[in-house]
Amino acid sequence: MLNKVANIVRGLTADAVQKAGSGHPGMPLGCAEIGAVLFSGIIKNTNENDKWINRDRFVLSAGHGSMLLYSYLYLNGYISLEDIKNFKQLDSITPGHPEYGVTPGVDCSTGPLGQGFSNAVGMAIAEKMLAERYNTEKHKIIDHYTYTIVGDGCLMEGISTEAASIAGHLGLEKLIVIYDSNKITIEGNTDIAFTENIAKKFESLNWNVIENIDGHDIKQIEKAINDAKIQKEKPTIIIAKTNIAKYAPTKQDTKEAHGSPLGEDEIIGLKRNINIPENEKFYITEDVLEYFQKIQKEQKDNYIKWEKTFEEWSKENPKKLKNFEQGLNLSFDENLIENIINKKQKNPIATRKASGEILNIISEDLDYLIGGSADLGPSTNTVINNSNYINKDDFSQRNIHFGIREHAMGAIVNGIALHGGFRVFCSTYLVFSDYMRNPIRMAALMNLPVIFIYTHDSIYVGGDGPTHEPVEQIESLRLIPNLNVIRPADSDEVKTAWLRVLKETNKPTVLIMSRQDLNYNEKNTDFKDSIKGGYIVKKMKNPKIVLIGSGSEVNLCYKISEKLLNKGIENNIVSIPDREKFLNQNEEYINQILPQDMDRIVLEAGRVDAWYKLKNNNNFIAIGVDRFGLSGDGDELAKRYGFDIDKIINQIK
């Protein structure tokens, strides 16, 4: 039956891509048998609840082969045949690459190669951590596998090596990677650029390697997966030799099959080769549908059995249940807000240190808060003090050593967030956020509540020089849709930034913190208004101008304000820790904070191009940094770059 299923999927794929006018038929045709084995009962899930916490996770890292996944989701009752026919159409639930939250049964958005592999590592870490916390000798409520199909392109990407290294180090035995080794990419055979010995490479990374599997032989695929499950110490990679566009008469094993429709004549030849009606589009048989209905009945029975186990566990472990549900819902008690607001912090204090103190207050209340850094925890202040680090023998801890692997770190925390049960953070220096740009973008695309903490936020880093001094990074991050970017000016704003993190669980947040100590800004307004993105921190009776800053430059605004006042020029100071949030407030609030009849001066130690969104009809000055930094004392460097009080006052005049 499974060979017949695979051929049905080949027909559906060829027809859907042809109808859409674009797509990637080669990979689904080449992996049809692998999919048939996985989705015929090996992957534990149910269309009754596609968010079931103990379902097996499946990540199609080679996301261009989305029709493979959509075909099996259709056969398993998650989507309809009409959805298959609408592949890649506007507003359909079958987009060109899999999208989390769009298509039922899709566990992860994929497309940028290597991201899915790393997301799967994160999911496997989350499974181990939840199992360690909540399983008992009597009841195992978390006990699932994570599967991913990767292609040659995925394994060429450096992120996959980073993630594979972590997975091997942690011994993630419930991670099973199936490598679709078809040796074809867009430009031709992989030997033009890729001659690694993948088996030896993964062996050196402490993986269990099963190689030389015929990816079109059902029994070999089944045996390989079963063998992977037997060993209990390492993640497994199954190297499956496949033919791209298998059974296409002239395009099998060619680069032309990778990313273009096969063409009507080729599809007719394909269907002849696999014995399905050559003139019938989207062909399906009743016996195949009945076969999958039976599978889904078994899956539902398995799910009901788990629900009974969970109910028994819940009654016997009420405290664990409370923590478990909190982690799933990312909920918290309201008294935590007061604990944060009332925290006394020294003055002056670097916002990275203030943030670390708040993080630890939160961690005392929220057992589900976990995370780590790219080997910078003590410097970025992102270590949970009342916990140790996870390791292959102990997943009960809450800190994670990601090593110096920023790219994989970003995608792994996305995988942890996708899995559910935790609120996860990660951290490095702001200038190295560029290594993580695609994971940040993917977190925003998937609405994942990941917390990205970036410190050492400007040229004030000083002595380490231009390689470590961010200039364009803050503005670049603000360009990403659906991403909170918050740069607090002092310990008060650090508190409200973390309050936003707690409350906004439908999108990722970037917290940008200073290396250097910052003075506490005395305010004659309510600092909790900073949660709106921007607010007046110092208000005068008859202001003529408004000084606007974010982060450390608000400190500078205070010094300028005092000198202006000595010259008889009243002024307001406005802090805008999150410009995009501020600009999304209603017009009345924006005009209240920034009256139209006032001159405006903006200060930020980075690119200021987009601050011109705040320009009005009056005088407007934006002072920033538009070239790379230098090695030297941070304060002296800032003066060199124009952040000098007297020079700024002369510009204002």
Residue 573 annotated as binding? no
Element (H, E) at 642: none
**Separation between Cα atoms, residue 620 and residue 602, nearest integer Å:** 8
- 419 assigned ligand-binding residue: no
Helix pair 318-329, 115-134: axis angle to 10 deg: 160
Asked if residue 379 belongs to a known ligand binding site, the reply is: yes
Neighbours of 476 (CB within 10 A): 16
Q: Flag whether 112 is marked binding.
A: yes
Residue 253 is labelled as binding a ligand: no
Residue closest to 395 by CA, chosen among 173, 566, 240, 586 = 173
- Owner of token pair 């202006």: 564
> Is the peptide bond prior to 470 cis by the omega test (within 30 degrees of 0)?
no
CB 542 within 8 A of CB 550: no
Angle at 323 between CA 318 and CA 327, to 5 degrees: 145
Structure tokens at 149: 């199909």
Closest CA to 175 of 122, 109, 241: 122
Handedness of CA 512, 439, 327, 234 (dihedral sign): negative
CA distance 545 to 564: 10
456 labelled ligand-binding = yes
The continuous run of DSSP H or E covering 70 comes out as: helix 66-75
Residue with tokens 């199992």, as numbered in its chain: 131
Which of the following is catalytic: 99, 173, 406, 604?
406
Rg of the chain's alpha carbons, rounded to an integer? Answer: 28
Is 342 a known ligand-binding residue? no
DSSP of 367-431, one letter per residue?
Answer: TTEEEEESS-HHHHT---TT--B-BTTB---SEEE--S-HHHHHHHHHHHHHH-S-EEEEEEEGG
Report the SS3 class of residue 409: helix
Calpha distance 638→642 (Å, rounded): 6
Backbone angles phi, psi at 453, to 5 degrees: -110, 115
3 is in an annotated binding site: no
| 152 annotated as ligand-binding | yes
168 marked among binding-site residues:
no
Residue 408 and residue 510: Cα distance in Å, rounded?
A: 17
Give the three-state DSSP class for 575.
strand
Residue 515 known to bind ligand: yes
Q: CA-CA distances (angstroms) from residue 453 to 376, 446, 527, 544, 591? A: 11, 19, 21, 37, 31
21 is in an annotated binding site: no
Residue 97 marked as a ligand binder: no
Which amino acid makes up residue 221? I
406 a catalytic residue: yes
> How many alpha carbons fall within 13 Å on the CB side of residue 350?
18
The binding site for thiamine diphosphate comprises 64, 111-113, 153, 182, 258, 432
Residues noted as catalytic? 406
The binding site for substrate comprises 24, 258, 352, 379, 456, 464, 468, 515
The binding site for Mg(2+) comprises 152, 182, 184
The binding site comprises 24, 64, 111-113, 152-153, 182, 184, 258, 352, 379, 432, 456, 464, 468, 515
